[in-house]
Amino acid sequence: MKKLSVFLILMACTFLLSPAKCVATESELMLSSKSGLLMDYASGEVLFEKDSLEHLPVASMVKMMTILLALEEYDLGNVTLDTKISTTENASGMGGSQVFIDPYVEYSFGDLLKSVIMASANDASVALAEYFNGNEKSFVGRMNRRAKELGMDNTNYVNCTGLPAPEQYSCARDSAILMREILKHDLYHNYSSIWMDSLTHPSGRQTELVNTNKLIRYFEGCDGGKTGSTNEAGCCLTASAKRGDMRLISCIIGAENSKTRFNESSLLLNFGFANFENQFLVSTDSPIATLSIKKGKKDEVEVYANENFSAVVKKGGDEKYETILKIPTSKKAPLKANEKVGSVVVTKDGNIVKEIDIVAKEEVKRNSYFDHIGEIANNW
């Protein structure tokens, strides 16, 4: 009976939280840029937006998708930091921002990726695209497919660099979604917060690298981002900063100058940290319940949520979130490791926000005939 009472308590656990839907209004944050957005990284909640779905050129912020695909190739083990990539005349001849790579020589994957993340190098971007897909056109097709998978429905890529091109566009919301995905990769953080570095070419000459995102040096907690700037797009920046347990993502598109994009990005981030906080509702660190096992070699097993979940909340608010545990009081063996045994549902205002699987982390085998006979003997 004691275990059952624990289940009943867990099945209706209410948290007093503030309204995540209480986002900032445009009058609270006066932006001169064409579009802007502030997103909570953990939950994906949008805390502020101005024309965030408008199709706009985003200049070199296009390279965020080039960076993401390169990071995913690395995590899959298809490339290492030391993998040698042969360059072409096409890649080395790219205009705009570049690190002046030489044609027909080999650079390491790590150096090319660093050059794109830090210095927004067009030549290094094309070199990566040609390596992974043979040519830039094929790589761009892959960029668009990945964008659709991420729900970036207001984005269309024409090249991998962000150089002006007809029919190439994105929006503030899609840019934040993309940065949120990039931030999941540890390798990205190895380069994104470096202020100054250098690239040593195979010939021995060196090119100085300076991070185009000034906020990593001047804004507390900023450790990543991607700038963009063309006459067509204006000045753009998608940036991320973390303070304490909270990480935010800001996006500015179409600022009139570089100073404005950094100032308005800082304005968004400061507003977020001052007015919102993250509160964890579901954690994978501790068992969420104890499940009784029938006819198993163990009588019970602890079960866990399969993923963490937190809500972004307004400081000083009092809105209620509820978590509802959907799990039987017992289950027959056998039980596989990581087998789903139920779910925990997070609701807000009666609407389901998230449903997370509950799993048993350990295997429980079924009692054999002899185990059953032994149990009868012991009871007798």
Report the catalytic residues. 60, 63, 120
Contact 73, 79 (CB under 8 A): yes
Contact of 309 with 278, CB cutoff 8 Å: no
Question: Is the separation of the CB atoms in 112 and 127 below 8 Å?
Answer: yes
Question: Which helix (H) or strand (E) is 144 found in, with range?
Answer: helix 136-149
Query: Tokens 């040096």, residue?
Result: 217
Backbone angles phi and psi of 113, in degrees to 5: -65, -45
Cβ–Cβ under 8 Å, residues 230 and 161: no
Cα 106 to Cα 84, 120, 131, 270, 361, distances in angstroms: 6, 19, 11, 43, 46
Record the tokens describing residue 177, joined without a space: 């979604």
Q: Is 337 helix (H, G, I), strand (E, B) or coil?
A: coil
Under DSSP, the state recorded for 62 is: G
The span from the CA of 100 to the CA of 213, in Å, is: 20
Q: Which residues contact 162 (CB under 8 A, 6 or more apart)?
A: 58, 59, 60, 61, 62, 63, 168, 228, 230, 233
Buried b / exposed e along 144-183 (16+ C-beta atoms within 10 A): eebbeeeebebbbbbbbbbbebeebbbbbbbbbbbbbbbb
Three-state SS for 285?
Answer: coil
- Two structure tokens written together for 109: 């994957």
Cα distance between residue 117 and residue 112, in whole Å: 9
Q: How far apart are CA 230 and CA 62, in angstroms?
A: 12
Between CA 322 and CA 310 the distance in angstroms is 12
How is residue 32 annotated by DSSP?
A: -
